[in-house]
Structures are given as structure tokens and as C-alpha cells.
Amino acid sequence: MGRVKFIELDKLKIAYQVKGTGIPVVVLHGWGAEANTFRYVLDRLSETHQIYALDLPGFGLSELPPVAWDASDYAKLLTKFFDLLNIDKAHLIGHSYGGRISIVMGAEQPKMVDKLILVDSAGIIPPRTAKYYFRISFAKVGRLMRKCGSSGKRLADSISNRVGSKDYQQAGPMRATLVKSVNQNLRPLLPKIQASTLLIWGENDTDTPISFGKIMQDEIPNAELVILKDAGHFSFLDQPKQFCQAVETFLA
């Protein structure tokens, strides 16, 4: 990709890259990643489009959000990014958490979104199991233990390491944003998306399973689902050539 640039939005320093010419495409990475995760895809698509790739606040070289955010907060920041860089309308590619933001943009800012590509996207709250409620109960105990001095904090950390997801364990200062985000149900927004939508899923995705993609295919008015063989949650890394072919055909 191109040289990293910085822009200030809502008093936050945001890192982004831009490369190529033509119709703009804005790429939003997933949780725990950064713009460079898409390097192969970005370089290839920049041959035919103008590619903008952001480090979302809290990731890469961008600053942390001042409080816990959800996808709607990120979408508000993205609209300001469009305005400041004079992007009237763009294609959106959102992977995982970036898909959450893209869903909000597609539903609430339809004039800004040309075509929408959701890649192994989050946004669907899965059915709550007994295991889920067990983990929630332990997490609540952990929060109480943190108020009981250093010994309580150590015990709380031990509980978190046992019952928390990998993302939760590694979230650090972004933990509150993660919790707020995973509890945001974006499914009611799906029927409101007006843009032609391509859903790309890895057949072996266990983080956001194919069932999520099929729900989105059914509930987004104009959506097509492509499943990549021998690919997981990062399907664009597992099968980069097939991924780019699907994207190029859709955007052509």
C-alpha cells in the first residue's frame, strides 16, 4: 500500500493509507487487526480503484477511543472521514468487526455507500447457550473481586483468563469497547441496506460461522453469498486470489 498518513477526527489521530485512482473503495479491518492486514488485497485492487484503508481507533497506529464505542460510534467517525477527504460515495469492504461498521453505514448512510462487501462479518448475536450464561456469571464475580484489593484483582484476572474469549483476554484498554460491541445486535439493520451486497465467507470460519452469512443473505434485500473453500475467518488471507477475483467481478 501507500505511505501512512494521519488525519484528526473528533480529536483523535487516525492513521490511513490511500493508493490508486478511480472509484473509491474504503476498507475496514477486523478486531485486533490493522489496515496492513489487507496488504495483498489493497495492492491488487488499487490497480483499478482508489483504495482507502484505515487503522480503526484503538488499533494499528490510530489513537484509542476516549470511551467505550460500538459500531455506530465507529460509523459516525467514518462519515466524518468521508466528509474531510471529500469522498461523496464509496464501495465498502468490511471484515469481521469492520463488517459491523459497514452494516451500520449501509443501513444509516445509504447515500455514502455504493456497493457493500461483507467479509466473514460480525453483527449477528448467536443463540445464548448455558455455557454463555455460565461465563457471564463468572465475569460478574470477577468484576466484584476487582474491588477487593490486589488479591481480589489477581483472582479476577485468573477468572478472566479461564472464561473470557481470546479477544476479551487480549483487549486491554479496548475491553469495554469489545463488550459493548458484541452486545450490539445489528440484525434489525440488515433489511434497511440498499446497496448491492456481496458476502464472502470462509467455509471453515468458526468465529463468525457461515450461518451468519446465510442470515445476512436472506435479510439483506440484494445480497449474494460466496463461500471460499479451505478458508477460515480470515478468508481473504487464506484464499487471496479467489477473494480478489470475487471482489473484482462484483465491482466491475
Q: Where are the alpha helices (DSSP H) in 4-146?
A: 39-45, 71-84, 97-108, 130-145
Please give the pLDDT value at position 128: 53
Question: Domains, the chain, ranges and CATH?
Answer: 5-125+184-251 (3.40.50.1820), 130-178 (no CATH)
What is the C-alpha to C-alpha distance for residues 3 and 18, in angstroms, rounded to an integer? 8
CB atoms within 10 A of CB 83: 12
Contact 121, 189 (CB under 8 A): no
Helix, strand and coil content of the chain, in percent to the nearest 5, comes to 45, 20, 35
Please tell me the pTM assigned to this model.
0.85
Residue among 112, 94, 98, 96 at smallest CA distance from 24? 112
- How far apart CA 235 and CA 214 sit, in angstroms, is 16
Angle between helix 71-84 and helix 97-108 axes, rounded to 10 deg = 70
Query: ∠ at Cα 128 (124, 132), nearest 5°?
Result: 115
User: 91-111 pLDDT, tens per residue?
Assistant: 999 999 999 999 999 999 999
Give average pLDDT by consecutive 10-residue segment, the chain, 252 residues: 88 96 97 95 96 97 97 98 97 98 98 98 78 42 54 54 61 91 96 98 97 98 98 98 97 94
Sign of torsion, CA 168 174 176 181? negative
Q: How many other CB atoms are found less than 10 A from the CB of residue 47?
A: 12
Q: What is the pLDDT of residue 217?
A: 98
What is the per-residue pLDDT for 147? 61
Contact between 177 and 70 under an 8 Å Cβ cutoff? The reply is: yes
